[in-house]
């Protein structure tokens, strides 16, 4: 009996210990889960304060903006050399008017601050409605019931270069965007047709109702265009990747190419004769590129394009449209022939093309494009500086060297010879994209120029140009001439 009792006691004791251990484990699991939960909450609040709060407050639907505007006079927006691009004028009665000294020149890049917000007015809205004036001054104004002066936003925009780009576009519809490759700074951004932001209150409804001209559309970031022969940069790169012996390529151009009953012509039906890959690219030979494009793996071409930011989000803080590429293994021969030379369903924005040019210029590395470089209080004391951010490496060093050889040939002996200059060394690709059933064309140029370590990447688009013309090249030349 004693032995049995002792055995029962031991068994009960073991069960109690097991229950105790299980209970402790449950407590520890709950404790760790709670610690992870609180750590996640703290991490979220830190991330919100450091990264996301500006974006949330900047949202047009956030009512906090209205509260801020009741106590802050909206700050000014300045160019890279300190010229005022936007300011708030206050009369003797305290009435505020947003003023844009350069009128239409920065209509899309700086934007406007009523009827919603656009451009830098939107990007830096919270900064412009925040005052970092001296604390004593803020306290005194609050005591008096007077408004404090909002902080000023410094941009990377160059006034002189923007004037040159604006004038070079003349009265044509289109866009220009220029980026500093090593930093991603946007130096100029033009879109036409435009509007005068000083009169936005009076003309806004009219602009919204006009669907033909789309004056409010920033074509540099939101204009989707058929790339024309600028797309041959992508076709070329895929051909090089699939064919290590690409230097052996030859083609005899007779002005057109026919495959499965489908005929593609070179521009103006021009015969280019015997060509290698370099001259095919420099001459922008449609026939040759259709010939080599038909040999490509369509899925690999799609993968390459998507790795170069098609069908994906762009690393931009501003409003933009995503470029689209739809060719795949199921696409027809006609679609393939159209796509590889830059026609078909492919669509791209000017800023995307400028980013590709910028990455090539920067040894294959893409920097995030940005316009706001510094925030200062109205006395000129810096509050926050924005520094360059690396996005990713798009091209290998060997690919950059090869692409530069081909892009340079366009300028030295191809369709972009007007860019030959003693001031700088230019690289680029021209493009003519047929629209309106081929009766008109959009003229494009993407590329960059450099001299003594200074670089500028650019994309120019002119809409509704005479078929076969390349007016985008002189626009690019005017900008490069001014910059260098």
Helix, strand or coil, per DSSP, at residue 188: strand
| Measured CA distances, 304 to 241, 244, 298, 321, 384 (Å) | 10, 16, 10, 19, 38
Tell me the per-residue pLDDT of 152-172, one tens digit each, with 9 for 90 and over.
999 999 999 999 999 999 999
Tell me the per-residue pLDDT of 443-483, one tens digit each, with 9 for 90 and over.
999 999 999 999 999 999 999 988 666 899 999 999 999 99
Structure tokens at 306: 């998507």
pLDDT band (50, 70, 90) for residue 17: low
DSSP state of 105: G
Asked whether 440 and 422 are in contact (CB, 8 A), the reply is no
Q: Which of 245, 248, 251 is closest to 266 using CA atoms? A: 251
Q: Taking residues 252-281, report their average pLDDT.
A: 93
pLDDT band (50, 70, 90) for residue 51: low
| Measured CA distances, 36 to 24, 29, 30, 448 (Å) | 18, 10, 10, 50
pLDDT > 70: what percent of the chain? 89
Q: Which of 410, 414, 413 is closest to 448 using CA atoms? A: 410
According to the model, what pLDDT value does residue 58 have? 56
Per the prediction, the chain carries an average pLDDT of 91
Length of the chain equals 484
C-alpha span between 268 and 467 (Å, rounded): 8
- pLDDT of 99 higher than 90: yes
For the ranges 250-264, 285-299, 320-334, 435-449, which has the lowest average pLDDT?
Answer: 435-449
pLDDT band (50, 70, 90) for residue 35: confident
Q: Taking residues 44-66, report their average pLDDT.
A: 59
- pLDDT of 61 higher than 60: no
pLDDT > 90: what percent of the chain? 78
Beta strand ranges found along 220-353 (DSSP E): 250-253, 256-259, 262-265, 273-276
- Helices marked H in 253-396 — which ranges? 277-282, 286-293, 298-307, 333-340, 350-361
- pLDDT of 47 higher than 90: no
C-alpha span between 44 and 333 (Å, rounded): 51
Strand-strand pairing, 365-367 and 390-393: antiparallel
Asked whether 458 and 357 are in contact (CB, 8 A), the reply is yes
């Amino acid at each position: 009996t004693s032995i049995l009792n002792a055995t029962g006691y031991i068994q009960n004791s073991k069960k109690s210990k097991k229950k105790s251990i299980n209970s402790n484990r449950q407590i520890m699991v709950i404790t760790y889960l709670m610690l992870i939960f609180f750590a996640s909450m703290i991490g979220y609040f830190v991330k919100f304060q450091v990264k996301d709060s500006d974006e949330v407050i900047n949202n047009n639907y956030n009512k906090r903006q209205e509260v801020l505007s009741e106590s802050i006079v909206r700050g000014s927006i300045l160019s890279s050399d300190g010229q005022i691009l936007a300011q708030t004028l206050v009369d003797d009665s305290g009435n505020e008017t947003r003023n844009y000294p350069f009128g239409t020149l920065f209509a899309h890049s700086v934007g406007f601050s009523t009827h919603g917000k656009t451009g830098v007015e939107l990007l830096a809205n919270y900064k412009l409605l925040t005052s970092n004036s001296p604390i004593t001054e803020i306290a005194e104004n609050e005591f008096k019931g007077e408004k404090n002066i909002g902080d000023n936003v410094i941009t990377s925009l160059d006034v002189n270069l923007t004037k040159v780009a604006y004038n070079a576009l003349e009265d044509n519809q289109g866009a220009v965007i220029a980026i500093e490759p090593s930093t991603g700074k946007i130096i100029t951004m033009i879109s036409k047709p435009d509007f005068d932001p000083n009169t936005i209150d009076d003309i806004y409804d009219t602009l919204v109702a006009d669907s033909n001209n789309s004056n409010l559309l920033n074509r540099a970031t939101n204009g989707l265009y058929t790339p024309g022969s600028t797309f041959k940069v992508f076709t070329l790169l895929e051909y090089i990747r699939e064919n290590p012996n690409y230097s052996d390529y030859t083609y005899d151009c007779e002005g057109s190419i026919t495959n499965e009953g489908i005929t593609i012509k070179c521009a103006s039906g021009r015969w280019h004769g015997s060509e290698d890959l370099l001259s095919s690219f420099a001459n922008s030979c449609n026939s040759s590129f259709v010939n080599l494009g038909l040999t490509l793996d369509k899925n690999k071409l799609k993968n390459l394009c998507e790795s170069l930011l098609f069908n994906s989000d762009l690393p931009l803080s501003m409003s933009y449209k995503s470029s689209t590429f739809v060719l795949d293994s199921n696409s027809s021969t006609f679609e393939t022939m159209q796509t590889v030379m830059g026609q078909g369903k492919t669509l791209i924005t000017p800023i995307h093309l400028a980013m590709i040019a910028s990455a090539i210029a920067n040894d294959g590395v893409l920097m995030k494009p940005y316009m706001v470089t510094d925030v200062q209080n109205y006395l000129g004391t810096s509050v926050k500086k924005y520094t360059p951010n690396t996005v990713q490496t798009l091209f290998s060093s060997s690919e950059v060297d090869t692409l530069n050889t081909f892009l340079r040939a366009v300028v030295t002996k191809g369709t972009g010879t007007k860019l030959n200059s003693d001031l700088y060394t230019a690289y680029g690709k021209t493009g003519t994209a047929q629209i309106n059933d081929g009766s008109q064309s959009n003229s494009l140029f993407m590329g960059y120029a450099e001299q003594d370590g200074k670089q500028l990447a650019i994309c120019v688009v002119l809409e509704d140009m005479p078929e076969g013309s390349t007016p985008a090249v002189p626009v690019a030349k005017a900008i490069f001439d001014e910059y260098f």
